[in-house]
Amino acid sequence: MTHSEENYLKVIYHLSQQSGKGVSTNAIAGVMESKPSSVTDMIQKLADKGLANYVKYQGVQLTEAGTFAALMIVRKHRLWELFLVEKLDFSWDEVHDVAEQLEHIKSDKLINKLDEFLGFPTEDPHGDPIPDVQGNIASVEKKLLSEINVGKKVLCVGVKDSSAPFLQYLDKQQIALGAVIEVLGREDFDFSVNIKIKDRELTVSNKIAGNLFVKPV
């Protein structure tokens, strides 16, 4: 596959995970910043390779082979992100763009050795699950911080938004994966959330709370 085909597979996979159904060509075009006609051409190429199907009014769906191929791209991307953070001291807001380049390396042996070197991890630096060599993903029970009741203590396990500005904001507020967060209160006016991390109290907006994945302590 070309790099472009791999990028399309990954985008279709992520969009289908969000919607749980077929993905529209307009949605793909929006993410890829491409013309709908270009998306249609690419879908045809993927279909010719047995990786995707398009049904009018139902959208694009990956075949079993296409899903597995997409999972292997996601696997490489997230393993490289973890390697960059753990072994090369990149910050978690820097790794996405570099991993976007490294995910196209074709050597399965290299990726499997990287997996072994990292200790067969199940999550990347943002808390997203890493598919194993068979494409299996460990399920994690998690909710958004905005959904947690007042008085509960939770563990920060991931982010919904992995953009650099959001991750940099979390760094400034000293909110990281593994942090224990106690929900102290919620403002009725704007639904901002008052939280406590260690001995420090702060207020985060509803938008911030809606982009932090947590699980019960």
pTM: 0.83
**What is the predicted pLDDT for the residue at 113?**
97
List own/partner pairs for 134-140 with CB under 8 A and 24 or more apart: 135/67, 135/68, 135/71, 135/72, 135/75, 137/71, 140/215
- The answer, yes or no, to whether residue 140 has pLDDT greater than 80, is no
Q: Which of 19-23, 84-88, 173-177, 198-202 has the lowest mean pLDDT?
A: 19-23
Task: Compute the Cα dihedral for 155, 122, 2, 37 and give only its sign.
Answer: negative
Question: How far, in Å, CA of 49 to CA of 53, rounded?
Answer: 10
From the list 121, 151, 125, 144, the residue with the least C-alpha distance to 133 is 121
**What is the predicted pLDDT for the residue at 56?**
79
Give residue 181's Cα distance to chain centre: 22
Longest dimension (CA), the chain: 58
Residue ranges, comma separated, of all CATH 2.30.30.90 domains in the chain are 143-216
pLDDT, tens digit, 9 for 90 and up, residues 7-38: 999 999 999 987 777 899 999 999 999 898 89
Location of structure tokens 């494409």: 135
Fold for the domain defined by 3-62:
Arc Repressor Mutant, subunit A (1.10.10)
**Residues whose CB falls within 8 Å of the CB of residue 104, separated by 6 or more in sequence, listed in order:** 3, 6
User: Of all helices (H) and strands (E), which one includes residue 71?
Assistant: helix 64-88
The CATH class for the domain spanning 143-216 reads mainly beta
